Amino acid sequence: MDILQEIIAHKREEVAKMQAKKPSLREALLQSESGIIAEFKRKSPSKGWIKEEGRADLIPLSYQQNGAAALSILTDKAYFGGHDDFIRQARLSGVTIPILYKNFVIDGFQLYEAALCGASAVLLIAACLSVQQCSALLEKAHALGLEVLLEMHSEAELEYATLGPDLCGINNRNLGSFVTDVENSFRLAERLRSMCGNGPDAPVLVSESGISDPATVRALRQAGFRGFLIGENFMKTPDPGLALNEFVGKLKD
């Protein structure tokens, strides 16, 4: 085998790894007792730096070791101090559970970035997209082997749930004012469930942001949610993985 043949053979292996089926966020939440999507979030537009020194090769793996069903990793650099490489670093550190690529996706190019860095699913935000744009991005994400968590905040946005996402998220944080109200999930849950149905192919419901009490998680589960995205509550502590472990322990009490 000459050098070119050797390079091409190795390249085929690399491409095969990139195309390999990723761990399913949807299935992970359905099978998990906690349903917690632990978020690696170093910065917030409203709070500033939460953990500027936070390392993507340490905290995500610690989350996995301490009971997370899945991870969410912020990749927006300007406002959240994130980077695509954080997902790569997490994977290289040994993370095998599903990872949500959390960014403000407005173009199909970003979906290729998500797939290449090792994400399992991508966030699409109704407030950022028209129904037509969201539908096109959802279709493209599925073609690339990515699941879609479709995020909504208001009753007016619930029409997006009919596009066929794998997961439907209710954001408890208003993205305009950044005010957080967990009651938003409870307000919209029944309407969302009636629109999506309860069949085996119905999207999994996820409550996002502002969750800091295990009792809230239990109540949200009773309302039909199976995923609970929690980041700041863990990241603001000295040891986010330990904080997750303690939270999961209280869920079992």
CATH number for position 244: 3.20.20.70
Position 5 in a domain: no
What does the pLDDT look like over 53-73, one tens digit per residue? 999 999 999 999 999 999 999
- Is 70 exceeded by the pLDDT of residue 119? yes
Does 149 map to a domain? yes
243 in a structural domain: yes
The single-letter DSSP state of residue 124 is E
Cα–Cα dist 104/75, whole Å: 9
Number of domains the chain contains: 1
Quote the percentage of the chain above a pLDDT of 90.
81
- Active-site annotation holder among 34, 39, 43, 147: 39
6 assigned to some structural domain: no
164 domain-assigned? yes
What is the model's pTM? 0.92
Domain of residue 126, residue span? 24-252
> Which of the following is catalytic: 102, 185, 207, 232?
102
Radius of gyration of the chain (CA): 18
Does 56 fall in a domain? yes
With contact defined as beta carbons under 8 Å apart, do 242 and 250 qualify? no
With vertex at residue 15, the alpha carbon angle to CA 9 and CA 17, rounded to the nearest 5 degrees, is 105
Structural domain contains residue 10: no
User: Which residue in 32, 43, 44, 151 is the catalytic one?
Assistant: 151
Residue 177 scores a pLDDT above 70: no
User: Which one from 147, 157, 208, 232 is the annotated catalytic residue?
Assistant: 208
Domain membership of residue 41 (yes or no) is yes
- Do residues 236 and 43 make contact, with C-beta atoms less than 8 angstroms apart? no
pLDDT of residue 1: 66
13 is an active site residue: no
Q: What's the rounded Cα separation, in Å, for the pair 169 and 227?
A: 9
